[in-house]
Amino acid sequence: MNRIIKYVFYDILRTRFIIFYTALLLVSTFAMFQLDSDPNKVVMSLLNVVLMVVPLVSIVFTTIHFYNSYEFIELMLAQPINRRVIFIGEYLAVAMSLCMAFAVGVGIPLGIYGVSATGMSLLFCGIILTLVFVSLAFLAAVLTRDKAKAIGIALLFWFYFSLIYDGFLLWFVYAFADYPLEKITLGLISLNPVDLARVIMLLQLDISALMGYTGAFYRQFFGSSFGIIFSTLILFLWVIIPFFIALRIFSKKDL
């Protein structure tokens, strides 16, 4: 497996996309710190990048890479190598490269201008969302042999979790505004990794004070030890479940 990871990792570096992605994050983060010296405001600005751009880049790049590596995967399958080893090697190489790019591009400026709890939370949310959308991308890729259809499924995942689900959640809260929805909304937020990361970051930035009673409830829950453990476990489940579904499909799929 180590050889597969190493080969795929170097192959990704040869495309230079990861280098460009890292440089873009690095320049953008430094530019935001130059425009505003308040770390909390910079983290707030970077939050939009983490919630929208990082998932989009992760899911599109991973899906395209999987299909570009199809010949390599078929070659490996012709060897006496377990399918699970090939799939896990591909996943780890892509996930490590994207996480490394995000950690370097955002982490270095945050480290230079001062490490804070909100900055560390931003790095955690960015890395975990990268892993989530890499898992979803692999799931989209193994569902169909058609590259265009797989990219469409991947983009549909991104649209749903980043845009459509929020619209549904806002409609739900507005339609049932007369009822106590705190616990129900908490459950609905858990069904969307992007929303879960957003709420965690907003509570870290103390924006919950602007959210009234609901914000106080979320702060009480997510600010507690149980809330932190709960949210972390749910985010990791969003990484693990799509990955294992994709692994199961790939193991039985006729390539």
Mean pLDDT of 192-219: 66
pLDDT at 237: 93
Q: Average pLDDT in the 100-104 region?
A: 93
User: What residues have CB less than 8 Å from 106, skipping those under 6 apart?
Assistant: 25, 26, 29, 46, 122, 123, 126
List the Cα angle 246/251/252 in 5-degree steps: 105
* Predicted pLDDT of residue 207: 56
Give the single-character DSSP code of 115: -
- What 8-state DSSP symbol labels residue 253? -
Element (H, E) at 78: none
pLDDT tens column, 45-81: 888 888 889 999 999 999 999 998 888 888 887 887 8
Question: Do the beta carbons of residue 129 and residue 50 sit within 8 Å?
Answer: yes
Q: Is the pLDDT of residue 224 over 90?
A: no
Nearest to 113 by CA among 37, 210, 7: 37
Mean pLDDT of 96-113: 90
pLDDT tens by residue, 140-194 = 999 888 888 999 999 999 999 988 887 787 777 777 766 766 677 777 788 889 8
Does pLDDT of 218 surpass 70? no
Per the model's pLDDT, the better-predicted residue between 37 and 194 turns out to be 194
The number of distinct structural domains making up the chain is 1
As a residue count, the chain comes to: 255
pLDDT(231) > 60 = yes
Say if residue 225's pLDDT is above 80: no
Average pLDDT of the residues of the chain: 83
DSSP 113: S
Q: Domain of residue 231: give its range.
A: 2-252
Residue 245, pLDDT > 90, answer: yes
Of 15-19, 156-160, 184-188, 237-241, the range with the lowest mean pLDDT is 184-188
Q: Which backbone phi and psi does 191 adopt, to 5 degrees?
A: -85, 0
